[in-house]
Amino acid sequence: MDNGHIRIGWGQYGDVEDFNDYEDYSDGGKAILKAFQTGMQIGDLVVSCYSAKETDAIGIITGDYEYRKEGGAYPRYRTVKWLVKNIRYDIRELNDNRMLTLSTVYRLYWNIQDVIKVVRSLLPAPTTLAHNQPKPYVFIIDEINRGEISKIFGELFFSIEPSYRGEKERVQTQYQSLIEEGDVFKDGFFIPENVYIIGTMNNIDRSVESMDFAMRRRFVWQEITAAESADNMGISGENRERMDRLNKAIADTDGLGKDYQIGGAQFLKVEEGRMTHEELWRLNLQSLMKEYLRGLPNAGENFRQLEKVYMGKDESEADDVETDHD
């Protein structure tokens, strides 16, 4: 459970994909494998069997079926987001008063609304704020580097610093006369201590260079790597393999490096079925790679190498791909 997946065995059958082409199920298991590999759908609920009466975890299927040889005796994987785990809950209340069986995978007789109620009841109580501690509020400014900072913060630019927060650091703005009596900001504007401002940006965007040091020192900087973004977005299977493969090649390319690696948002288009891998390359990644390499030595050769790595083709196959490398 700690690794975020469920696994089953039946390793003697190998990686069965098309059940119509495979007939040797002398040890049984065909129905179980089909249920695990194709019957389960992303978004389905799943429970872990602790005993005939109890479950110890309830989760949601988040990834397609994967066969991993490194799994040993249990090579068949599905990724799961556990809603609750390390519990002991009498499953009969959800399963039409039926007990669990020794079968590996099978459908339960439950109502989704009942499951939601149970999950909510098992979740830990939300932590309460300490006495007199104000509730935090968060502003998120996406691609903050693309905006005009002077217009975003105006004359309150210095007020976002921790040492200038709160009522004691009120500022008389040019709009002060417009504020009505009784307004909390009538005697001057201020940014409360419990307001947090998060700005996001792509660190290879040229507009980042225009951000002055006064702006930079008012924020704590935290990098989100390409791998972390993929984890956050649930990029898995072949999509994750292609992404990791391409990003390693980008990091190893002279003139580029890890700062140019592709984040999970691009591959989310394929993960969600909105594009194929080929369409993602042709419509999005191809032009981006050309822009990355523009003006660098061996740009054409490096482009073909990145394309080959992404497509998973060998040298001869890569040469057959018709693309404009100007």
pLDDT category at 280 given cuts 50, 70, 90 is very high
Ramachandran angles phi, psi of 144, nearest 5°:
-60, -30
> What is the distance in angstroms between the CA of the first residue and the CA of the last residue of the chain?
50
Classified as helix, coil or strand, 81 is: strand
> What mean pLDDT comes out for the span 205-226?
74
For residue 22, pLDDT beyond 50: yes
Least confident of 88-97, 174-183, 254-263, 311-320: 311-320
With beta carbons less than 8 A apart as the criterion, state whether 94 and 108 touch. Answer: yes
Angle at 269 between CA 234 and CA 199, to 5 degrees: 70
Least confident of 244-248, 251-255, 317-321: 317-321
Residue 102: what pLDDT? 66
Give the rounded distance of the alpha carbon of 306 from its chain centre. 24
Comparing CA positions, the residue from 158, 152, 150, 151 lying closest to residue 139 is: 152
pLDDT digit string (tens) for 73-110? 888 888 888 888 888 888 787 777 777 776 677 677 66
For residue 324, pLDDT beyond 50: no
Q: How far apart are CA 137 and CA 116, in angstroms?
A: 28
Q: What is the CA radius of gyration of the chain?
A: 27
Classified as helix, coil or strand, 254 is: coil
Q: Which amino acid is at 283?
A: L
Q: How far apart are CA 62 and CA 42, in angstroms?
A: 5
pLDDT category at 209 given cuts 50, 70, 90 is low
Q: How far apart are CA 91 and CA 101, in angstroms?
A: 12
Q: How far apart are CA 168 and CA 267, in angstroms?
A: 48
**Mean pLDDT, all residues of the chain:** 80
Query: Domains in the chain and their CATH numbers?
Result: 5-122 (3.10.590), 137-216 (no CATH), 227-319 (no CATH)
Residue 320: what pLDDT? 45
Alpha carbon distances (Å) from 235 to 7, 243, 307: 19, 9, 20
Lookup result for tokens 């610093």: 161
321 vs 161 pLDDT, higher one: 161
With beta carbons less than 8 A apart as the criterion, state whether 290 and 260 touch. Answer: no
Residue 322: what pLDDT? 43
